[in-house]
Amino acid sequence: MKHLYRKCTISTFIIAFCLSYHFSYGQTVPSLSTGLEWDQWYLVNSVQQIESQFNAGRRHEESNLGLGPNQLGDLQLDADFLSLPFEEQALILLNAERNARNGARYGSTTYTVVPFEGAEYTLCDVSQGHADDMQTNNFFGHTGSDGSNSYSRITGAFPGCTEGTSENIAWNSIGGNGFIAAIPFAIYNFIYDDACCGWGHRINCLKMSLSTNNYNGTSRFGIVGFGRSTGANGDFFVMDYFDPEPASGNCSYDLMDFSTGGGTSDCPDNIDLTGMISTGIYQAISVNSSGTVLANSEVDLIGAIDVNLDVSFEVQAGSELTVEIQSCNGANAQHTNSSSGWEEEEPVFINGEPEFRRSAEN
């Protein structure tokens, strides 16, 4: 299969960075002179592959910008990372990359890059609305089908409460339920392979201005929102940002607390289905089965990371079996056990080829 990897401008390398940004940066980590491409990205399906590519990006940056060996450290993710809500995945990766550069010395300058404050519910609604708009109306760009842009969408949701806004968007051509590593892939390209777009996505991810960080002290900076829409027109991801005014009667913010729901707190580590399996949805980080699906049953096996079917696994006549790799909500936990291997099908691409796009707006 031909690997088509398009880059930049708003309609080709379909990550778009939309900087509708209206204040100056206090400090911005330098851009790279050359990027590092993530080759065969569409085959990625494990946390280890994600860590390896991000760490290769960090080594590339250290060499490219003259940093000391391993100055940016290594990305280390929990084993259940790919089972987390996509908003949490995005926030973890962005803050890990920001933390890696906090106190790093580029040339004669030591940079302060503190984590984002968090993902905000209303801003995520804004991001999700634009992702759904692009999916439904089959376009890629910062101008919505109603003529809105990222600045008008964000400030419309937070009137009088923003000191600067920006937006990154990304799209890949995997249809259906989307690409399991879509969020890591988009953020990697925003930071490490953005020469095509003048490094605007990287600026949006790593920007810093403590002089205007008057919302909640100087240990955190800015609020982010994320949206994702998968389906027949591909896999769309939106990252919105704004620097908030201090909380007041007119300006209030509701940050997501990932410790109270979603991800692994609601999703069992694994399920082992043995014996006769009746109609139902069986979900876990890892789903394993050596059982038999009863005749005329409808069974969904959903694994956040993998689904492992033993050679003795059977499906009786008249049954309907669906096997999916996607985030789970923790329903129908059964027993626990370990697993063997499951071979994934080739991903289904829009227009038959792997493709990625991005755009940014400030």
Question: Per the confidence metrics, is the pTM higher than 0.75?
Answer: no
Instruction: Check: CB of residue 303 under 8 Å from CB of residue 285.
Output: yes
Least confident range from 122-131, 245-254, 282-291: namely 282-291
Q: For residue 121, what are its two tokens?
A: 């519910």
pLDDT at 20 over 90: no
What does the pLDDT average to over 341-352? 54
Judging by DSSP bridges, how do beta strands 356-361 and 314-315 pair with one another? Answer: unpaired
Q: What is the pLDDT of residue 123?
A: 96
Query: Could you tell me the residue ranges of all domains in the chain?
Result: 15-258+354-361, 269-335
Q: For residue 272, what are its two tokens?
A: 């082992």
| Cα–Cα distance for residue pair 241/132, rounded to 1 Å | 18
Instruction: Check: CB of residue 213 under 8 Å from CB of residue 146.
Output: no
* CA-to-CA separations, 317 to 295, 297, 298, in angstroms, rounded: 5, 9, 11
* CA-to-CA separations, 66 to 6, 58, 102, 105, in angstroms, rounded: 29, 12, 16, 9
Give 264's pLDDT tier (boundaries 50, 70, 90).
Answer: very low
How many C-beta atoms lie closer than 10 Å to residue 308's C-beta? 20
Q: What is the pLDDT of residue 19?
A: 42
Give 352's pLDDT tier (boundaries 50, 70, 90).
Answer: low
Classified as helix, coil or strand, 60 is helix
What does the pLDDT average to over 101-114? 92
Residue with tokens 């259906």: 176
Classified as helix, coil or strand, 316 is coil
Give 263's pLDDT tier (boundaries 50, 70, 90).
Answer: very low
pLDDT at 113 over 50: yes
| Cα–Cα distance for residue pair 131/139, rounded to 1 Å | 10
Q: What is the pLDDT of residue 217?
A: 67
pLDDT at 107 over 60: yes
Give 203's pLDDT tier (boundaries 50, 70, 90).
Answer: very high
Instruction: Check: CB of residue 288 under 8 Å from CB of residue 273.
Output: yes
- The predicted-structure confidence for 210-232, as pLDDT tens digits, reads as follows 555 667 666 788 899 999 999 99
Give 276's pLDDT tier (boundaries 50, 70, 90).
Answer: confident
| % pLDDT > 70, the chain | 77
Mean pLDDT of the chain: 81
What residue ranges in the chain does DSSP mark as E strands? 15-19, 105-106, 109-110, 118-119, 162-172, 223-231, 234-244, 270-273, 276-277, 280-289, 292-293, 298-309, 314-315, 320-325, 356-361
Q: What is the pLDDT of residue 32?
A: 97
Q: What is the pLDDT of residue 13?
A: 37
- The predicted-structure confidence for 35-87, as pLDDT tens digits, reads as follows 999 999 999 999 999 999 999 999 999 999 999 999 999 999 999 899 899 99
Q: What is the pLDDT of residue 336?
A: 28
Give 351's pLDDT tier (boundaries 50, 70, 90).
Answer: low
Q: What is the pLDDT of residue 24?
A: 39
Contacts with 341 (C-beta within 8 Å, 6 or more apart), sequence order: 308
pLDDT at 127 over 70: yes
Q: Hey, what CATH class is 15-258+354-361 in?
A: alpha beta
**99-103, 262-266, 296-300: which is most confident:** 99-103
10 Å CB burial of residue 13 (0-12, 13-18, 19+) is: buried
